[in-house]
Copies of this chain bind each other. A is one copy, B any other.
Amino acid sequence: MTISIALTKGRVEKQFLQYLQSRGFDVGPLIEKGRKLLVETDEFTCIFVKGWDVATYVEYGICDLGIVGEDILAETRPDVFDLMPLPFGKCRFALAGKPESIRHNRKRRIATKYPNVTQRFFREKGESVDIVKLEGSVELAPIVGLADAIVDIVETGTTLKENGLVVIEEIQLITARLIANRSALKIKKQSIQPFIEKLHGEGVYK
């Protein structure tokens, strides 16, 4: 029984393929995939989807395993088994804004792609905020006055810097994570266990 993996397209994809290669897997067919979204190798079937969709494919049992950023898991809290962190895709959730931003007494407006994470962060601080959900280019919001600050993932900080923004507060460290479908983990244990052990070293599978 081959195992199937849902993989985040783009930056994390390259890092995961390099990591697979370093662990002795043959990733040739995956690197030469071109525009294909579905690739089969001798060892596994891979589908390449948006980060936000990885957990959906795993939750519905289309894929046994998934590689996805912890940011997305924190936001969507899918019903999957969160197996382990992976040593790439490192960044952090941060509250960022203009350096000169002054705290007014009024309710602050926060722009973010992560409304649930933002809600929880401010609830724990005991502050009530208005959240504006954006899909991209969140760094633009404080510049044009849509928001007082943003909650976003920060990797190198270059995007913030280019837009004259600074990190106000760090919220959470993030890495890529290996997730699994709950029943596949039991039913396909014989295929999944050796894969995970090769990926990470022995003793991970409990």
Contact = CB atoms under 8 A, between A and B. Distances in A.
A135 B50 contact: yes
Contacts of A57: 144, 146
Contacts of A49: 134, 136-137, 140
Interface in A27-67: 37-38, 47-50, 52-53, 56-57, 60, 62
Contact of A135 (B47, B52, B132, B145): B52
B144 A50 contact: no
- The A interface is mostly helix, strand or loop, or mixed, namely mixed
A146 B38 contact: no
Interface residues of A, number: 24
A37 B140 contact: yes
**Copy total for this chain:** 2
A132 B56 CA distance: 8
Counting from the closest, the 9 A-B pairs by CB-CB distance are: A50-B136, A52-B135, A50-B135, A62-B146, A37-B140, A53-B134, A62-B144, A53-B135, A49-B137
A171 interface: no
Contact of A53 (B60, B136, B145): B136
Given A49-B136, A50-B136, A50-B137, 12 more contacts: A9-B136, A37-B140, A38-B140, A47-B140, A48-B137, A49-B137, A52-B136, A53-B135, A57-B144, A57-B146, A60-B132, A62-B146
